[in-house]
Structure 1
């Protein structure tokens, strides 16, 4: 990458940091950061949601553990020592977060394209169905199948590491040094990458809805603070040592629960029209979705 391109990315990072700082309060009060936590709880209460991809789950756990262990063995002590010079007792803790961030970066090359995305797509659909959104999944798959034949869209839909693709990878790497700044730097790192990565968790939802890029952008823009909060929370979970990659599944469940909640709210808003004399009758699946 040329010097001018690097400078351009750094300038963009500074601009994003300014925007994110303005959104920070809105992100906190949006409570969208609770959805990943709800994803963990829902998975514990409904284990069938991820047990349908148990083989991929085991592979993810093994991959995450190997990558983190190798990184920790070779890089943890030097980074902890360096950080301790500037942060004192916080050095070992911040170094652990930094190793987690680095392992997420490496996972994008080894796990995402190879085996992770198709399984996460299945988990997303299964969660939606369990929340009564059968028609959304059924109709969405039909739309997606037809668009694949016409446009050649790639098969993997859910992109939990949307922020780490192409230019996003460089921005992620350039923002990693922020973690050397005690507390504030780590929060800034999470905000910057959470804002970019948050909407990626709803890629499958947008595909099932059949939305074009313009409508997706409008939808994301209207919920920028919520997606920032959601992206930050999911990153914290994926940074957990050894099992971070496994939380991609519970994060996906949380994203699907959020999507089901959005659908239920939209159905409630549209229900007066459905009850009009000349409007079509609502099917049983939609009624169950509203009830939930």
Structure 2
């Protein structure tokens, strides 16, 4: 199985369209964001608009200009608050969508094997998620001026933010399924920065498309889950192959020695299927004559020395 990380954002689109049940994970956060936006809109025009307009009028700003400027301010404030609300609740539903894709791929046993310590996982996920969100916003603000440069600047913006985006998308798998720390997850993300960047650059490019980016935010999660699922299946197949090889080797090592007793006669060599073994004759058998035949308990009774042993 050849894994090409940059292909998974596109795979996520087709996989999500082919599995309509995944759209259930989108309904709740979108509805909550719409309700929150309407509430902020009502609050803004009922309270903030008058407050801000009167503040401008008190500093000798013309009333008409003050009201127009405050309407624009309120719309911007509602938009920013709605986006922040969406970004805060998004990881909760991202994790659910990620796990659902793994279940559809037949990897439910991976999720079950890592159940337990929910409080520890929750604390790790929340703390790590907030740190990653802060880091994403910081990198986004610092690299935003790159978009001024046509094509090359946007490509650089997608590449730089791509690594950070992939780190955030895979963090749920690292922290809550693999049970590794934020530091270990970040170290592995940096070691695999080529794969992370190739996936993330395509994902960021899709999320830069206006309007459609609302859909691509979710398909990128599906694509990341498909990437992880392929890695898990590849690892399990390799482990199964190694176990089969070890079992086969153990079977060969336990094959008993087979001797052809039909060709055996006193004084002749033992012949059998295993060639290369040293030849054996009855005369090579050591003549054991203990000084005290009853010195060791449990040893067989040995005839006295003046009696000859029968030949074997």
TM range (shorter): 0.5 to 0.7
Residue-pair matches, total: 204
Structure 2 counterparts to residues 5-154 of structure 1, below 5 A: 31-57=4-30, 109-113=84-88, 115-140=89-114, 142-145=115-118, 147-148=120-121, 152-154=123-125
Structure 1 pair 218/248, CA: closer, same or farther in 2 (3 Å)? same
Match of 2:169 in 1: 201
Q: Counterparts of 2:202 and 2:233 in 1: how far apart (Å)?
A: 23
Equivalent residue in structure 2 for 1:227, among 172, 183, 196: 196
User: In structure 2, which of residues 213, 226, 229 is the aligned counterpart of residue 244 of structure 1?
Assistant: 213
Q: Distance in 1 between matches of 2:23 and 2:157?
A: 30
Q: How well do the aligned residues superpose, as a CA RMSD in angstroms?
A: 3.3
Relative to 1, partners in 2 of residues 1:247 and 1:62: Cα closer, same or farther, differing over 3 Å?
Answer: farther
Distance 1:105 1:231, change over 3 A: farther
Return 5+ residue gaps in structure 2 as ranges.
Answer: 38-78, 249-312
Cα deviation for residue 171 of structure 1 reads: 2.9
| Residue aligning to 1:268 | 237
Distance 1:50 1:138, change over 3 A: farther
Structure 1: gaps (5+ residues):
1-29, 65-103, 279-292
Aligned-pair distance for 1:216?
2.1
Residue 174 of structure 1, CA deviation: 2.2
Give, in angstroms, the shift of residue 52 of structure 1: 4.3
Instruction: For residue 38 of structure 1, report the CA deviation from its aligned partner.
Output: 0.4
Tell me the TM-score normalised to structure 1 length. Answer: 0.60
Give the helix-richer structure, 1 or 2.
1
